[in-house]
C-alpha cells in the first residue's frame, strides 16, 4: 500500500485541516497560562491553583497535538498519535472540574462550618456532595476509564473496541454527573453566602464568589452535555463548528473565571477556618451551653472582613 493510500485516522475521527487555525489559537492561549497558574500555586499554595497548573499543561499539550494532526497530512496516519490526543484531551478535564469542586467546598466551609442538615431524603445527597473523597474517587475513576479506553481503542479485536467505547462513555457520564452536582452545591452555597453580611470594600470574588462558581459549573455542564450527546459519533463530536464553541471555549472561559480577584481563598484563610471548624465541632459535643458565637454559623463574617485578598 502506498503512502497516498494510508489511512488518515485523524480525518476519520473528524479532525480537519480547516481547524488548524483554531487549534493553534487555543494552544497559544493556554501555554502562557501555565506559568501564570504556576506562579499563583507557589504564591498562594492551595490545591485549586496546583490543579489548574495540571489542567493548563494538559490542555496545552492536547491542542499542540490537535494542531499537528490538523495541519499535517501524514501525522494522522499514526493511530497512536490520534489516540494520545483524544485521551489527553478527555482526562485533562479532571483538573478543571476538581479545581472548581474544591473551590466550592472550600468556600462552603466558611459559611457552613456547622454542617447544617438538610431535612428529608436530600440529607444523604448533600452529604455525598460535600464529601471530598467521594467526589475525588469518582473523578479518578473517570480518568482511569478514559486511559483504559484509549489503550483498547487501537485494538483490532471487536470485543476490545466495544469495551473501549463503553468505558469512554462511562467516563463522560461521570464527569457530567459531577458537573451537575457542582451546580447544585453552588446553588446551596449561594443561599448561605448571600445570608452573610458582606463588607462593602471586599473584592468582587469575595462578595459574589458563588455566582462566579455557578458560571464555572455552567460552562462545565455545557462542555460535558455536548460530549455526552455526541458520544456515539466521534466524528460529529470532533466537528470544528461544534467542538470549539461547545467544548473548547467553555473550558477556557471557566478557567479564566478562577482569576476573579478574591474568588480563591488563600492558604492562611483555609488553615484559620479549618481550625475554627474543629473548634466548633468540639464545642458542639461539649455539654456546656452554646454561646452566641457558636450560633453565628461559625463566625462566617471573618472570611468577608477586609484584609489581604486572594
Best CA proximity match to 100, nearest among 244, 215, 198: 215
Note the pLDDT of residue 44: 82
Give the DSSP letter of residue 19: G
Domain span holding position 108: 96-304
Is 30 inside a domain boundary? no
Half-sphere exposure of 137 (CA within 13 A, CB side): 6
Q: Is residue 9 part of a domain?
A: no
Instruction: Summarize pLDDT for 161-186 with one digit per residue, the tens.
Output: 889 899 999 999 999 999 999 999 99
CB-neighbour burial class of residue 92 (10 A; exposed 0-12, middle 13-18, buried 19+): buried
**Number of helices (H), then strands (E), in the chain:** 16, 0
> Domain for residue 193, yes or no?
yes
| Distance between CA atoms of residues 284 and 290, nearest Å | 8
Give pLDDT tens digits for 6-28.
Answer: 889 999 999 999 999 999 999 99
User: In terms of Cα–Cα distance, which of 287, 83, 300, 102 is closest to 202?
Assistant: 300
SS (H, E, C) 279-291: HHHHHHCCCCCCC
Number of domains observed in the structure of the chain:
1
Confirm whether 43 is domain-assigned: no
How many Å apart are CA 64 and CA 98, to the nearest integer?
23
Which regions in the chain score pLDDT beneath 70? 1-5, 113-121, 197-200, 273-310
In a domain, 298, yes or no: yes
Question: In percent, how much of the chain has pLDDT > 90?
Answer: 59
CA distances from 257 to 27, 50, 103, 205 (A): 19, 16, 12, 10
- Residue 36 placed within a domain: no
pTM of the model as a whole: 0.84
Contact between 190 and 211 (Cβ < 8 Å) = yes
What's the pLDDT score for residue 120?
Answer: 64
Instruction: Give the length of the chain.
Output: 310
Answer whether residue 64 is part of any domain. Answer: no
Maximum alpha-carbon separation in the chain: 85
Residue 241 lies inside a defined structural domain of this protein: yes
Amino acid at each position: 500500500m502506498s503512502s497516498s493510500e494510508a489511512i488518515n485516522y485523524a480525518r476519520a475521527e473528524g479532525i480537519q485541516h480547516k481547524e488548524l487555525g483554531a487549534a493553534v489559537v487555543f494552544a497559544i492561549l493556554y501555554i502562557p497560562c501555565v506559568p501564570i497558574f504556576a506562579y499563583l500555586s507557589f504564591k498562594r499554595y492551595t490545591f485549586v491553583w496546583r490543579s489548574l497548573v495540571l489542567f493548563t499543561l494538559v490542555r496545552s499539550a492536547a491542542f499542540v497535538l490537535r494542531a499537528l494532526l490538523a495541519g499535517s497530512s501524514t501525522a494522522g496516519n499514526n493511530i497512536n498519535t490520534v489516540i494520545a490526543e483524544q485521551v489527553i484531551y478527555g482526562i485533562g478535564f479532571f483538573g478543571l472540574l476538581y479545581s472548581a469542586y474544591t473551590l466550592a467546598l472550600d468556600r462552603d466551609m466558611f459559611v457552613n462550618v456547622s454542617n447544617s442538615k438538610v431535612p428529608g431524603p436530600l440529607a444523604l445527597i448533600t452529604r455525598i456532595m460535600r464529601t471530598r473523597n467521594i467526589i475525588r474517587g469518582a473523578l479518578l475513576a473517570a480518568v482511569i476509564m478514559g486511559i483504559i479506553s484509549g489503550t483498547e481503542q487501537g485494538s483490532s479485536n471487536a470485543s476490545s473496541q466495544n469495551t473501549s467505547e463503553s468505558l469512554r462513555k462511562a467516563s463522560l457520564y461521570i464527569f457530567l454527573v459531577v458537573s451537575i452536582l457542582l451546580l447544585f452545591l453552588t446553588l446551596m452555597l449561594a443561599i448561605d453566602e448571600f445570608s452573610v453580611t458582606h463588607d462593602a470594600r471586599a473584592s468582587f470574588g469575595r462578595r459574589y464568589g458563588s455566582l462566579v462558581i455557578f458560571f464555572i459549573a455552567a460552562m462545565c455542564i455545557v462542555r460535558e452535555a455536548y460530549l455526552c450527546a455526541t458520544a456515539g459519533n466521534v466524528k460529529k463530536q470532533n466537528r470544528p463548528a461544534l467542538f470549539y464553541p461547545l467544548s473548547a471555549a467553555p473550558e477556557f472561559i471557566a478557567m479564566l473565571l478562577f482569576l476573579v480577584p478574591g474568588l480563591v481563598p488563600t492558604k492562611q484563610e483555609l488553615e484559620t477556618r479549618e481550625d475554627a471548624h474543629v473548634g466548633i465541632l468540639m464545642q458542639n459535643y461539649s455539654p456546656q451551653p452554646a454561646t452566641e458565637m457558636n450560633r453565628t454559623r461559625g463566625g462566617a463574617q471573618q472570611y468577608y472582613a477586609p484584609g489581604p485578598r486572594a
